[in-house]
Amino acid sequence: MTTRTTNRNRGLSEVVSTLILLVVAVLLAAVVAYYATNVTMTRTSQEEVRLSKQHVWVNSSGAVAAVKVQNLGGRDILIDKLSVRSIDADWDQIYYYRVPSGSSVNEDQNITSYDSLTGAVVLIDGRNYTQATSDLPLISGGELLVYVKGPKNIQMDDIGTTVAISVTTNNAQYITEVNVKSASSQ
């Protein structure tokens, strides 16, 4: 008499179970990567800053940089720093005019004397420019006109050369280039 044993408790083979675990791990990694990309894109895609009307003037008394900053994105931003030729400007050397909501400034900023940028408030072209003390908030759709007194690395020798002006926010850095011009009247 021969007895036959049947193996009814047989499970999946090692190969099949390894493949299932591998597929689950790959799908989980894909979901995490998609989520991380989505979070990153939604935080930065809503921020759009335009730099325009940029100038750098220099004469024997010193240099002055000017730029118009527009927030075209769908959310408010905070300007962390402003740099000219990769050197951060000190806040007490930055003067800004906040353009009132609903209006816009289309004309260029005028040559401003290095010596005239003193005090907490400076009148330039009929606008009161305020001396910055720390980071500058800018609402969605808002505009700032900015003057930087005495960028530390701009000299008379730089007339005709191209320099970068950059604005840094929490999420990005925005850069524009400009040729250094003479501020002398002759």
Same-domain check for residues 171 and 115: yes
Residue 91 buriedness (CB in 10 A; 0-12 / 13-18 / 19+): middle
Q: 98 with 20, same domain?
A: no
Q: Provide the residue range defining the domain that includes 64.
A: 49-182
3-state secondary structure of 129: strand
In terms of domains, do 54 and 32 share one?
no
Whether 66 and 31 share a structural domain: no
By CB atoms closer than 10 A (0-12, 13-18, 19+), residue 77 is buried
Establish if 3 belongs to a structural domain: no
What pLDDT score was predicted for residue 134? 92
Tens digit of each residue's pLDDT (9 = 90 or more) over 126-157: 899 999 999 999 998 899 999 999 888 899 99
**What's at 111, amino acid-wise?**
I
Pair 89, 35 in one domain: no
173-182, strands of its sheet edge to edge: 87-88, 81-84, 162-168, 173-182, 49-59, 62-71, 143-149, 94-99, 127-131, 121-124
Instruction: Give the side-chain half-sphere CA count within 13 A for 84.
Output: 30
* Token pair 């290095």: residue: 114
Residue 19 domain flag: yes
DSSP H helical ranges for the chain? 14-45
Number of domains into which the chain is organized? 2
Q: Do 85 and 154 touch, CB atoms closer than 8 A?
A: yes
Is 2 domain-assigned? no
pTM here is 0.73
Query: Is 38 a domain residue?
Result: yes
Q: Are 82 and 98 found together in one domain?
A: yes
> Each residue of 76-128: pLDDT tens digit?
999 999 999 999 999 999 999 999 988 888 888 888 778 888 889 999 888 99
DSSP three-state, residue 51? strand
pLDDT of 11 above 70: no
Mean pLDDT value across residues 152-168: 92
1 within domain boundaries? no
Work out whether strand 49-59 and strand 173-182 pair parallel, antiparallel, or are unpaired: parallel
Q: Are residues 41 and 128 in the same domain?
A: no
